[in-house]
Amino acid sequence: MSEPPVLSVRDLEVEFPTRRGVLKALDRISFEIARGEILGVVGESGAGKSLTGAAIIGLLEPPGRISGGEVRLHGERIDHLPREAMRHIRGKRIGMIFQDPLTSLNPLYRVSEQLVETIRTHTALNAPQARERALALLAEVGIPAPEQRLDAYPHEFSGGMRQRVVIALALAAEPELVIADEPTTALDVSVQAQIIALLKKVCRQHRAAVMLITHDMGVIAETADRVAVMYAGRIAEIGPVRDVVSRPRHPYAQGLMGAIPTLATDAHRLAQIPGAMPRLNAIPPGCAFNPRCALAFDRCREARPEPRRVEASDVACHLYDQAQAEATP
């Protein structure tokens, strides 16, 4: 019997009521993450990546609200919990790593105080034991001389070292799920590589499920086991990272991968996707990508495509409905 997923998201919908009507920002998002697995979530700005993470951890900015679907953590539904219950889950069972470490660290408190408080809040350890655990975590995430650095303030660390402290903070209570939202964007390239390697190592060691949100396909290819490509609040394609990177099926995923420079090609210009992501109040009927898609046909403009299994991936594209219909005698 296979182990149930750590995180299960089913038909998740998020909407924002406005004076001009209700805007749907996430439209029936579904995916799972297994224990020890890293799921990359990628797409252009405005695709709904960070919003998906915020909805899962109960940090939607008002008036945003979950209007449909469900989120389950180890089979337990968490999307409708009271704020206080969700706050306890956020600290203990779900760890968070954000783009800017300074949003996660209080500049007025020493790193030791923040780590020890988090550990004591979510475990049964006393103060000396919590401090020992904090030291061990700093050593694990690669902070040199942790005994000397533990009582420093956040501003005394470099950007990369601050992000290591945030990873230690996220892992402090041994969470089942870690949501990392653009964890390397604010760092230079050499530090990015170190943080990616660290994230992979600690998540494998702790056997945590990881949702890695980024717009950087290089980070996804290097880090993730599977990848979900998002467009206009929907998942266009989800599958093993090697398949999606090397043989994308959805026209939008093909466009994203085609825009990545490689040493193997001698192209003078990178491919680009014409047009721009639609605004929430102007998402077209049918497939949201159809105005930008060179392969769109009438059905794409009329009916929303449902995910269809194509080899190892699930692809929401009418091209595969059509292909299957033509192949059926």
Could you read off the pLDDT of 98-122 as tens digits, one per residue? Answer: 888 777 899 999 999 999 999 999 8
3-state secondary structure of 240: strand
Instruction: Report the distance separating Cα 195 and Cα 282, nearest Å.
Output: 38
Contacts for 60 with CB less than 8 Å, ≥ 6 apart: 14, 51, 54, 66
| Phi, psi values for residue 174, rounded to 5° | 55, 60
CB 138 within 8 A of CB 168: yes
CB 208 within 8 A of CB 178: yes
Segment of 10-14, 61-65, 207-211, 310-314 carrying the highest mean pLDDT: 10-14
CB 61 within 8 A of CB 22: no
Model confidence at 268: pLDDT above 70: no
Taking each helix axis from N to C end, the angle separating 159-170 and 189-206, rounded to the nearest 10 degrees, works out to 10
Domains (range + CATH), the chain? 7-93+173-327 (3.40.50.300)
**Segment 211-236 mean pLDDT:** 92
Q: What is the DSSP letter of 98?
A: -
CA distances from 164 to 65, 123, 152 (A): 32, 21, 14
pTM of the predicted protein model:
0.91
Q: Which residue has the higher pLDDT, 111 or 324?
A: 111
Q: Summarize pLDDT for 35-59 with one digit per residue, the tens.
A: 999 999 998 888 999 999 999 999 9
Q: What is the DSSP letter of 109?
A: S
Amino acid in position 176: E
- Count the Cβ atoms, other than its own, within 10 Å of residue 204: 13
State which H helix or E strand residue 251 sits in.
Answer: helix 251-258
Q: Which two three-digit tokens encode residue 288?
A: 């949201």
Which pLDDT band holds residue 269 (cuts at 50, 70, 90)?
A: low
Instruction: Report the distance separating Cα 140 and Cα 199, nearest Å.
Output: 11
